[in-house]
């Protein structure tokens, strides 16, 4: 299974559209957005896809959004996410949450995905792989990541939008 990972578009939809095109062309079976979506419009682009997201520090979800998110068939996050995909344990944070630091120390999952810093990176903390896809706004080079859970490989993809 391949997972497309994106973050920090802050409501800019054009780079999200392009990112989705490139991730799906690369074989992404699902999409994870690591926060700072900028609102429902970004989530609407995930509609019809297998997807998950977390809220970022600049997202201010209103209670009325819950119905819209459910109509998009996306799970509403009440904080970070813990997923099991292809037998791998994945934690998803934005990166500003106090629990994020705790997760870094515990290292009790296979992958820890997050955004927030607007810098792409990929490294190991003990046996846990930490991946930040970069950002789709306020960066000179916009990037997303494609994670292949079967081969444990990550490809960073530049977005030309």
Given a contact cutoff of 8 angstroms between Cβ atoms, the answer to whether 2 and 50 are in contact is no
Please state the rounded mean pLDDT for residues 3-25. Answer: 98
pLDDT at 96: 97
Number of domains in the chain: 1
Query: What's the predicted TM-score (pTM) here?
Result: 0.97
Look at residue 33 and tell me whether its pLDDT is greater than 90.
yes
Tens-place pLDDT, residues 69-102: 999 999 999 999 999 999 999 999 999 999 999 9
What mean pLDDT do residues 121-126 have? 96
| DSSP letter string, the chain | -EEEEE---TT-HHHHHHHHHHHHHTT-SEEEE-S---SHHHHHHHTTS-EEE---TT----TTHHHHHHHTT-PPPSSSEEEEETTEEEEE--S-SHHHHHHHHH--SSEEE--SSS-EEEEEETTEEEEEE--SSSSSSEEEEEEETTTTEEEEEEE--
Asked whether the CA dihedral 37, 41, 44, 49 is positive or negative, the reply is: negative
CATH number at residue 112: 3.60.21.10
| CA-angle at 52, arms to 149 and 44, nearest 5° | 130
Express each pLDDT in 39-48 by its tens digit: 999 999 999 9
**Given pLDDT bands bounded at 50, 70 and 90, which one contains residue 59?**
very high
Distances from the Cα of 3 to the Cαs of 25, 59, 90, 140, in angstroms? 12, 23, 11, 24
Q: How far apart are CA 128 and CA 84, in angstroms?
A: 14
Percent of the chain at pLDDT exceeding 90: 99
DSSP strand pairing (88-92 vs 81-85): antiparallel
Asked if the model's pLDDT at residue 8 lies above 90, the reply is yes
Q: What is the pLDDT of residue 69?
A: 96
Q: What is the pLDDT of residue 148?
A: 98
Q: What is the mean pLDDT of the chain?
A: 97
Residue 7 Rama label (left phi>0; alpha psi -120 to 50; beta):
beta
Domain range for 126 is 2-159
Q: Which of 55, 60, 51 is nearest to 36 (CA)?
A: 55
* pLDDT band with cut points at 50, 70 and 90 for residue 161: confident
């Amino acid at each position: 299974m391949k997972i497309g990972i994106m973050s920090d578009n802050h409501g800019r939809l054009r780079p999200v559209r392009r990112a989705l095109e490139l991730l799906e062309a690369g074989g992404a079976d699902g999409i994870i957005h690591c926060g700072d979506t900028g609102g429902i419009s970004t989530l609407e682009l995930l509609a019809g896809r297998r997807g998950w997201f977390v809220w970022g520090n600049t997202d201010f979800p209103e209670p009325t959004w819950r119905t819209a998110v459910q109509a998009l068939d996306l799970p509403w996050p009440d904080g970070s996410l813990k997923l099991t995909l292809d037998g791998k344990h994945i934690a998803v944070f934005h990166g500003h949450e106090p629990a994020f630091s705790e997760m870094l120390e515990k290292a009790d999952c296979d992958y820890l995905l997050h955004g927030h810093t607007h810098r792409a990176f990929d490294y190991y903390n003990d046996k846990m792989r930490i991946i930040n896809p970069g950002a789709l706004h306020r960066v000179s080079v916009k990037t997303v990541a494609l994670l292949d859970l079967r081969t444990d490989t990550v490809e960073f993809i530049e977005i030309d939008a």
